[in-house]
Chains A and B, each alone.
Chain A
Amino acid sequence: MLATKLRSNFTKTEESNNHADNRLLAALSHKDFRLLLPDIELVALPLNKILYRCGDIIRYVYFPVDSVVSLLSEVEEDRSTLEVGVVGNEGMTGIAVFLGVKKSRNQMIVQGAGTALRMKAADLRKHVNGGGRLQFLLQLYTHALMTQISQSAACNRYHLVEARLARWLLATRDRLDSNEFRQTQEFLSNMLGVRREMVNKAAGTLQKQGLITYTRGVLTILDNAGLEAASCDCYRSIKEEYDNFLN
C-alpha cells in the first residue's frame, strides 16, 4: 500500500526536481529514475531494527528518506559493536552489493525510525550493470563512505568518549532534524564501543555543562553551539564530505 502511495506521489511531483527524497536518487535524471521505479518500494524502518548482521546475505539495499541507519563493526571476541559509519538520505545501505559482494561484513541497525526506499540486491545489480549515472553516483558515494569510515578510525584512536558522544549527538540531530531523540544507554554503548558506565559518565559530563539532558532514555540537546565546541573536529569534516560529495 505504501508503494502504491509512493508511486502516485511520484506521478504528482514529476514536474518538480524533488522526485525522490533520497538525495542520491534525486541526483538521477527523471528518465533514469523512472527506470528504477518498478523495482523500488517505500518501507517503514522501526527504531533498532537490524537490517542485516555481519555474514548475512544482503537481500535488499535501502535508500533512507527520513530514517537513519548505523553501520556497525562487530567485534568477534566479545560480540560487542562499534559504529564506523552512518547512512542517511545522502546514501544507500549495502554498498557491498554495488561492489560485487553478496554478504555483509557489517551490521546495519536503524538508529532513527522513518522511511526508506528499498530495492532487491539483484535489481540493483541489474540497474548498475552497463554503467550510467547510477553507477557513477554510487562510486562517488562509496568514496564518501570510505572517507567517513577512515575518519571514524582516526576518531576512535584519538578522541575522548565525551567528544565522540557529542559528535554522535550532533550527527544524529542533523539527520533526524530534531533536538530530541530516544536512545538507550545500551544502544549508545554499542555505537561508541565503550561500556555502559562510560556512556553514563560521558553523558553526565555533557549534562553538567548544560549542553544536554538525558532522562528516561530521552536525549535533549540544549545548547547546539556548546555541543559543537565539545565535539571533536570529526563532526564538521564528515558533514562537509557528505554535504559536498554530490556537487
Chain B
Amino acid sequence: MLNAVNSRDARANRLLEKLPQEDYTRLSPSFEFVNLALGEILYHSGDEMAYLYFPTTAIVFLLYTTESGATAEMGMAGRCGVLGIALFMGGKTTPNQAIVQIAGGAFRIKAKIIQDEFERGGAMQHVLLRYTQSLITHISQTAVCNRLHTFEQRLCRWLLYSHDCLQTDEIILTQEIISHLLGVRREGVTVAAGRLQDAGVISYVRGHIRILDRQKLENCACECYAVVKDEYERLLTL
C-alpha cells in the first residue's frame, strides 16, 4: 500500500529531504506554501523568474518552445525535483515554459534567497548541482525518446514518473492535457489509452487514470524511464 504524500510537508520534496537539519532550519522561514492549479504557468520561456519551486504533490511539466511556436516535452519535476534552476545557474531567464500538469502543493522561495544560499557553497548547492546533472540526463533522454519511441511508450513513461511522484494509483489527467503536453492529437491519446486499458494496464474513465498493474506499465514503457530514474537515484543517494 502506498502512502500518499502530504502536500504541506516541505520535506516531502526529496531534495529538501536531503538537506541536513541545520540547513533546513535556517531556510524554512523563507519557504512559502502555494497551491498550484492545473494548467497554471509558472514561467514562460524568456521570463525572469522570481521564485524557485520545490513541488510536493504538484507535478510540473517543462516544455520547450521553438521559434516557430511548436512545443515539445523536455522534462518534468514533481517532488523529486525543483523548478527554476536557471536562477542559480546565473541565467536570469529560462528557455522553457513550466506548466502545471497535476495540481497540488509546492514550496517556493525567493530568487535572491536561494542565490545567496547557493553562494554559501553548502549542502543546498551540492544538492542543486547534482539535481542539475540528473535533469541534463532527463532532457538528453527526452531527445532520444522524442526521436525513437512511440507515443504509447512515452505515455507509459510519463505515467510511471507521475506514479512515483504522487504515490497514488489514481492520476487525474484529461485528454486535453495529455494531448497538449505530449504534442499529439486527442484521437492519438484515445487510441493509446484504449490499448493500455484493453491490456489491463490502466483504467481510464473521464480523465481519471488508475494504474492497475505497475509491472505491466513498466514493460510497456521505453527504456528512458529506467535510465532517468536510475541516474536520479544514483546521483541523489551519494
Interface residue from A77, A143, A154 paired with B72 (Cβ < 8 Å): A154
CA distance A236 to B235 in the complex (A): 33
Distance A124 CA – B143 CA, assembled complex (angstroms): 29
As a 0/1 sequence over residues 114 to 145 of chain B, the CB contacts with chain A under 8 angstroms (1 = contact) are: 00000101000010011011011101111110
Residue A156 is within 8 A (CB to CB) of chain B in the complex: yes
Cα A73 to Cα B139 with chains together (Å): 10
The reply on A157 being an interface residue by CB < 8 A is: yes
* Shortest distance from the beta carbon of B75 to any chain A beta carbon, whole Å: 8
CB–CB A140/B147 < 8 A: no
| Cβ proximity bits A133-151 to B, threshold 8 Å, 1 near / 0 not | 0001001101111110111
Task: Tell me if B200 counts as interface (CB < 8 A to partner A).
Answer: no
A73→B143 contact, CB < 8 A: yes
Distance (whole angstroms) from the CB of A50 to the closest CB of chain B:
17
28 A-B residue pairings within 8 Å (CB atoms)? A75-B144, A75-B148, A76-B227, A82-B144, A84-B139, A99-B130, A100-B133, A101-B133, A105-B133, A106-B140, A129-B121, A131-B121, A136-B90, A140-B90, A140-B91, A142-B136, A143-B90, A146-B139, A147-B95, A150-B74, A154-B64, A155-B66, A156-B146, A157-B146, A193-B147, A233-B66, A236-B67, A245-B91
Using CB atoms, name the residue of chain A closest to B131.
A99
| Residue in chain B with minimal CB distance to A149 | B139
The tally of residues in A whose CB lies under 8 Å from a CB in B reads 46
Q: Are B130 and A101 in contact (CB under 8 A)?
A: yes
On whether the beta carbons of A131 and B119 are closer than 8 Å, the reply is yes
Which residues of B are in contact with A by a Cβ distance under 8 Å? 62, 64-68, 70-74, 86, 88-91, 95-96, 119, 121, 126, 129-130, 132-133, 135-137, 139-144, 146-148, 183, 222-223, 227, 231, 235
Residues of B within 8 A of A76 (CB): 223, 227
Q: What residues on A are CB-neighbors of B133 within 8 Å? A: 95-96, 99-101, 105
B147 and A158 contact, CB distance less than 8 A = no
Whole-angstrom distance between the Cβ of A167 and the nearest chain B Cβ: 12
Chain A residue numbers with a CB within 8 Å of B135 are 146
* Cβ–Cβ contact B143 & A82, under 8 A: yes
For A153, give its contact among B91, B132, B143, B227 (CB under 8 Å).
Answer: B143
| Cβ contacts under 8 Å, B139 to chain A | 84, 146, 149-150, 153
Chain B residues near A82: list those with CB within 8 A: 143-144, 147-148
Query: B86 is contacted by which of A95, A99, A143 (Cβ under 8 Å)?
Result: A143
Counting CB contacts under 8 A, is A152 at the interface? yes
A17 sits at the interface (CB 8 A): no
Q: Are B126 and A157 in contact (CB under 8 A)?
A: no
Q: How many whole Å from A104's CB to the nearest CB in chain B?
A: 10
Asked if A234 is an interface residue, CB under 8 A from chain B, the answer is: yes
Chain B residue nearest to A76 in the complex (CB) = B223
8 Å CB contacts to B: which residues of A150-194?
150-158, 193
Q: In the docked arrangement, what's the CA distance between A150 and B97, Å?
A: 11
Q: Which residues of A contact B62 (CB under 8 A)?
A: 150
Contact residues in B for A205 (Cβ distance below 8 Å): none
The answer to whether A154 and B66 have CB atoms under 8 Å apart is yes
Beyond A95-B136, A157-B146, whether A139 also contacts B88 by CB under 8 A is: yes
A237 adjacent to chain B (CB < 8 Å): yes
Closest to B234 in A: A103
Q: How far is the CA of A139 from the CA of B86 in the complex (A)?
A: 9
Which of chain A's residues have a CB closer than 8 A to the CB of B119?
131
Are B72 and A158 closer than 8 Å at their CB atoms? yes
Taking a contact as CB atoms under 8 Å apart, the answer to whether A84 and B140 are in contact is yes
Instruction: Check B130–A154 contact: CB distance below 8 A.
Output: no
Residues of A within 8 Å of B91, CB to CB, are 140, 143-144, 245
Docked pose: A2 CA to B235 CA in angstroms? 36
Q: Chain A contacts of B70 at CB under 8 A?
A: 154, 158
11 additional contacts (CB under 8 A) given A144-B91, A154-B71, A241-B95: A73-B143, A82-B144, A99-B136, A106-B140, A139-B89, A139-B90, A143-B91, A150-B96, A151-B66, A152-B140, A154-B74
